[in-house]
Structure 1
Amino acid sequence: MTELVSRPRGGPGAERMRNEIMAAWMGRRWRTVGVVAACLAAYGATASAAATIESLPLAAAYGSGVHSYFAGDYQRAYDELSQAIEGGTIDPRAWYYRGLTALKLGRTDEAEADFSAGASREAEGTGAWPVAKSLERVQGCDRLKLERHRTRARVAQIQEDRRRGQLRYLDVERAKPDVLRSRRPIVDRRVDEANPFEGRAEDVPAPAANDSPQPGWKPRTEEMPEPAAEPAPASDDPFAPSANSRQDARDELRASSRENVAEQTDGRLEREATEFENTLEQRDAQQEFEAAR
């Protein structure tokens, strides 16, 4: 200790001491980082296993069914894909491949039902499934039939989303007059039982004795006819519609015009979907004709 203190601060002993302290500190630091990393890796592996342990059998059944389909063992593929679907999978590809397998087995109605069910689940967006990549190896007439159902489901989902948005907009528009309409406040008036006439009328002071009448004023006599009443303004017509009724009528007119626009849009989308289906059918018929030739 005396030797270290007696040496100058910039000598080789001080430099060596600083290097040893830094090396020890870095060693402890990296050991701590290693322990933390090991703990995080163990926790992540446990969480990942816990998250996938339930879906692993379903994924295995789906994968085995796809391999059996491409191997030509259609009955086994149908059974394995049915097992995955009955097990609760939400992957639309399971319905797609079971429908393709049903086409190979000659079960056209079941194939159409599976295509429709899978397309509905895909359009709803229940998960990020690589459907397009999984169907790359499926081409020809079977793929065209599948794509027809996918297109119908997408168009139907777009129409449903648009209809819900229009309904929400109409609800907001219908609620605006009730919110913006000025309403008189309701005052709770309670009558005092001891003095029911209190506060009913204001006290009007009597004219003073020295009040002089206005110029041109004449006392009323019995021979003088009563003055004719002035005609009521047009706004005082009791049978005329009120301002609130006119506002409601305008709101209904706007709502009906918006509904007409929505119906026209839906009709246009349906026509586009029909034209697309006709194009697919023509392409399908052309391919079948070329295959038969």
Structure 2
Amino acid sequence: MMVPEVRAWVLFLVVAVAAIGGVFSRALADAVPLPQPRPAAVSTGGGEDTGANRVAERFANGSPDADPAPLPVPRPPQPAGAGMAGTPVLPSPPMQNAPASGTQAGGCLVALGAAGADFEVVPPIETDTACGIEDAVIVRRIGDTNLLPPATLSCDTALRLTRFTRSVILPETRRLASAGLRDILIAASYDCRGRNRVPGARLSEHSFGRAVDIRGLHLSDGSEFAVTPRAAADLSTHARLQRSLRQAACGPFTTVLGPGSDAHHDDHFHFDSKPRRNPYCR
């Protein structure tokens, strides 16, 4: 058995060790700081691991000198009129300066080509007088038939001559002369002058490109038909051809003159497109 004195000393040592351990534990706790709480996250509407949260943590942890987040690269400037991204910007269509075929002049040129004329469009003919042609053309050929020399006319008159050649002169030379048509011999087309070349007289339709004078034809068999005065009893091939052409021209042309009309027209046909209520044929 332990004597009372020994038990007292053991109990004293146990109490002393416990007291010293408590003091040491409190000192150790005071020496080691507790971890700081995380700063509040910056709300961006995204998840927890957003770029805004990471930037906020860096500045909250005392790192203001760290490299900031890179700024977005600015978009390149878009051309005027550009739409949304990805939408192609189409160029404006070029201006159309040529006259449309639906206009009066454009429609005549289209019809003239379709009728078989070989022609050249020339600038409007302007003078210091009332003479001139707004829609001037030079007709060189009609189908396989040459105009000698080429005729300068308004487009409307050129179209009338072309259609008359194809529908009347060609078939009539075949029917009456049994030959084709090689050349049309032109006595006059555009010419700024008075009627019948009389000085001071009223301007002729030639002054506006609305008249053409035909003095004869070269046929494919080598013969030449000439417009000349003929007797009514003349039943020759050329006499019948002359009467047939003159009669058929009244209507397609508004003025038809020839041998017997007056002395000025004894050697040619005068065909014009003067605006009239009724054709004038003599």
TM-score range, shorter-chain basis? under 0.3
Instruction: Give the TM-score of the pair, scaled to structure 1.
Output: 0.20
Of Structure 1 and Structure 2, the greater strand share is in 2
Instruction: Give the TM-score of the pair, scaled to structure 2.
Output: 0.20
Of Structure 1 and Structure 2, the greater helix share is in 1
Name which structure has the greater RCO, CA cutoff 8 Å, separation 6+: 1
